[in-house]
Chains A and B, each alone.
Chain A
Amino acid sequence: KAGVTQTPRYLIKTRGQQVTLSCSPISGHRSVSWYQQTPGQGLQFLFEYFSETQRNKGNFPGRFSGRQFSNSRSEMNVSTLELGDSALYLCASSLVGTTTDTQYFGPGTRLTVL
Chain B
Amino acid sequence: AQSVAQPEDQVNVAEGNPLTVKCTYSVSGNPYLFWYVQYPNRGLQFLLKYITGDNLVKGSYGFEAEFNKSQTSFHLKKPSALVSDSALYFCAVRDPMDSSYKLIFGSGTRLLVRP
Contact = CB atoms under 8 A, between A and B. Distances in A.
B82 interface: no
A15 interface: no
Q: How large is the interface on A (under 10, 10 to 19, 20 to 34, 35 or more residues)?
A: 20 to 34
B44 A48 contact: no
A105 B49 contact: no
Given A56-B100, A99-B96, A102-B34, A42 B105 contact: yes
Contacts of B32: 99-100
A63 interface: no
Given A102-B49, A105-B44, A58 B102 contact: yes
Contacts, number: 60
Q: How large is the interface on B (under 10, 10 to 19, 20 to 34, 35 or more residues)?
A: 20 to 34
A97 B101 contact: yes
A43 B105 contact: yes
A99 B101 contact: yes
Contacts of A58: 100, 102
From A31, A48, A102, A106, residue with most partner B Cβ within 10 Å: A102
B101 A104 contact: no
A70 to B, nearest CB: 21
B44 to A, nearest CB: 4
Interface in A56-114: 56, 58, 90, 92, 97-100, 102-108, 110
Interface of A: 4, 6, 31, 33, 35, 42-43, 45, 48, 55-56, 58, 90, 92, 97-100, 102-108, 110
Interface of B: 32, 34, 36, 41-46, 49, 51, 90, 92, 94, 96, 98-108
